[in-house]
Structure 1
């Protein structure tokens, strides 16, 4: 896989082509395409084009696949935890027509869409760090810290995170367990507009610093544990992440943050302009 380093194009040999609902699933030796992770489906899959001499077909989706005993399973049909060593883990490109095994194909990710998703994902991590800092006074007990030493509200309270082109939507849950850990939620709903301003301002200062961003991985495999790494002025931060990102914070430009009460906690929308 080359997407963790920002790859968006390449050539590779087809090693598998199987019928799937809505098309065909193609597996190649090496790919720049980022697949949807069924265990934490925050960032959508890449789309693009797969082509060879006399053949071109759209990549309409990209899924995580797993094999054992010759059977390929994809997405939610995989019965084991991602990374199970008894299974082989693959990137499955969903295309509109069959592609012969053994053919060398050109792979091209939709770069505009990838960049928009990468911007949304980078902004999402930055928002989480700024939110942790802003909510730090609400903790009465010590809990695990984030990479900057603040109580990690984001990791402890996140219920769902969805990356969209140029932004993210993050939903948090403030339940009994979080309150027992020492989080004070009283008055938070009324404070959300001011909190959003504080988070947005902190993000703007980090973006102005134009810190470098990288994805660190111990190997090229799909299930290799990858980490987002950002050298902020306060210190270098690492967050577990399997998605794609920009290479510098300055590429984000202006970011807007809005917050509103949800069913169980705040809902945070981050938008990059």
Structure 2
């Protein structure tokens, strides 16, 4: 069977853990961990990692062939094909949406797995890992908005605003974001371009930087506690069901609804997060002061 000409339909944005699917293509691939089979399906509930912005790890899970074996998904990666060649992760040579290319989820399984094109299968994501990563991703977004609010008076120019109207420090300074079970780690570079944009980096690098870090932490934690106490809904708003269709995270917060473009998975209510707190640290990254924000969500028991 030829490589697919249409992208994978994904059901995880709606919170689905299980999906029925058909195998479109199976291909041996070489990975850093050895030989694998890349399994392409028409539909999946397995969230993949995207090499373009690999903040949320892939789901753990299984592919069960109907009346057959259950295969462990060793990894799930965003891939792309022009109909002739399958490119995995960082090897994708074009941007999403490029005409003539289909973006798909490559499910990596053991090289000797009994699965073939045309098989009817079921995908099942691990519920506990999904829930913890979803809490971590939602807490990450909330913490970034609360950080923007805490630093709103540290700008000497009027930069781009975030969805709640605060100067968008997160968008201006973010270097990397890593979602973890029940939390995240975000790194912000306080470099020359950020200072030229109008942010006063001396708030953290000056004589009283340590005190300012603790004050910002307290402000963020207070904002998070207020939002979470409101118990607002969280949802994914999407243009369609394909992997590359545009999706937005939306959260009903005190003072309005925040929306951010996001391809990850999330909690469905602020009440699911429990107690969320952050820790701020200033580190040196090859001579550039870098603010590290570690966020932890302690889910309700």
TM-score, scaled to structure 2:
0.88
The whole-number CA distance in structure 2 between the counterparts of 1:215 and 1:98 is: 35
SS of 2:267's equivalent in the other structure is: coil
Structure-1 separation of matches of 2:12 and 2:200: 40
Partner residue of 2:103?
89
CA distance in 2, matches of 1:206, 1:187: 26
Figure out how many residues of one structure are paired with residues of the other and give that number: 273
What CA distance in whole angstroms lies between the structure 2 residues aligned with 1:143 and 1:198? Answer: 21
Bigger mean CA deviation after superposition, 14-23 or 251-260: 14-23
Show CA shifts across 1:199-252 (max 9, x none): 011101111111111111101111111111111121111111110000001100
Alignment partner, residue 259 of structure 1: 280
Q: Which moved more, 1:201-210 or 1:185-194?
A: 185-194
Look up the match of 2:44: 31
Q: Which moved more, 1:195-204 or 1:114-123?
A: 195-204
CA contact (8 A) 1:17 1:98 kept: no
RMSD, aligned CA? 1.0
Would you say the 8 A contact 1:142–1:151 is kept in 2? yes
> Which deviations, in whole Å up to 9, do the C-alpha atoms of 1:30-51 show, x marking residues without a partner?
1111111111000001110111
User: 1:98/1:85 Cα in 2 relative to 1: closer, same or farther (>3 Å)?
Assistant: farther
2:226 aligned with 1:205, yes or no?
A: yes
Cα-to-partner distance string for 1:17-36 (whole Å, 9 max, x where unaligned):
11123321111111111111
- CA displacement 1:122-161 (0-9 Å, x = unmatched): 0000000000000001011101100110000001100000
Matched, 1:152 2:173: no
Find the counterpart in structure 2 of residue 165 from structure 1: 181
Q: How does 1:1-273 map to 2 (within 5 A)?
A: 1-21=10-30, 22-52=35-65, 53-96=67-110, 97-188=113-204, 189-190=209-210, 191-263=212-284, 264-273=289-298
SS in structure 2 of the partner of residue 187 of structure 1 = helix
| Structure 2 gap segments, 5+ residues each | 1-9
Contact map agreement 1:117 1:244 (CA 8 A) in 2: yes
So what's the TM-score if we normalise by structure 1?
A: 0.97
For the 8 Å contact 1:64–1:74, the answer to whether it is kept is yes
Query: Which stretches of structure 1, 4 residues or longer, exceed 3 Å deviation after superposition?
Result: none
1: CA distance, partners of 2:192 / 2:38: 44
Q: Separation in 2 of the partners of 1:166 and 1:182?
A: 33
- Could you give the per-residue CA deviations for residues 94-132 of structure 1, whole angstroms, max 9, x where no partner exists? 112241111111110011001100000000000000000
List gaps (5 residues or longer) in structure 1.
Answer: none
Contact persistence 1:171–1:262 (CA under 8 A): no
Shift of 1:54: 2.4
Superposition deviation, residue 256 in structure 1? 2.0
Q: Does the aligned pair in 2 maintain the 1:24–1:98 contact within 8 Å?
A: no
